[in-house]
Amino acid sequence: MTDWQQALDRHVGVGVRTTQALIQLIQPEDWNKRPIPGKRSVYEVAVHLTVLLEADLRIATGATAEEMAQFYAVPVPPGQLIDRLDQSWRYYQDRLTTGFSTETTYWGVADGSTGWLMEAAVHLYHHRSQLFDYLNLLGYEMDVILFE
């Protein structure tokens, strides 16, 4: 792997493992809570986190709005969140190491494969932060180190 592939592998890897650590702390009675009124529930943010690495790269390779609606419609029960994130992470790592061709997204954004891999990385950290804020708002005491 090149330097930048190693850098993404390391720092997205940290994002994946710490996201899984946060998800494992969530108590069942909190899944449906909305610590920020009007925004996604705890469960909805957790599901989004588990699929977004794969979703963003599917979008990057030209998936249509309809195809993405079908992708997002596949249910991810709470007990499968950790495995679903592992699956997305493998999908991401495969494309990180082998490369892929991009197409303009269905809403008109164009970027190269490296740009999309980067976008998915910052997207993961964005929602990991949201989940961390949610758990703080719900009073969780957390011993998860978010950065190395």
Per CB under 8 A, residues contacting a copy of itself are 2-4, 6-8, 10-11, 15, 36, 38-39, 109, 111-115, 117-119, 121-130, 133, 136-137, 146-148
Through-space distance between the first and last CA atoms of the chain, rounded to whole angstroms: 21
- For 77, phi then psi, to 5°, come to -60, 155
Considering the complex, what minimum distance in angstroms separates the CB of residue 103 from a copy of itself?
Answer: 15
What residues have CB less than 8 Å from 17, skipping those under 6 apart?
A: none
Closest Cα to residue 101, out of 67, 62, 75, 63? 62
Q: Closer CB to a copy of itself, residue 83 or residue 115?
A: 115
Q: Give me the least distance between CB of 64 and a copy of itself, in Å please.
A: 18
Task: For the CB of residue 3, give the shortest distance to a copy of itself in the complex, in Å.
Answer: 4
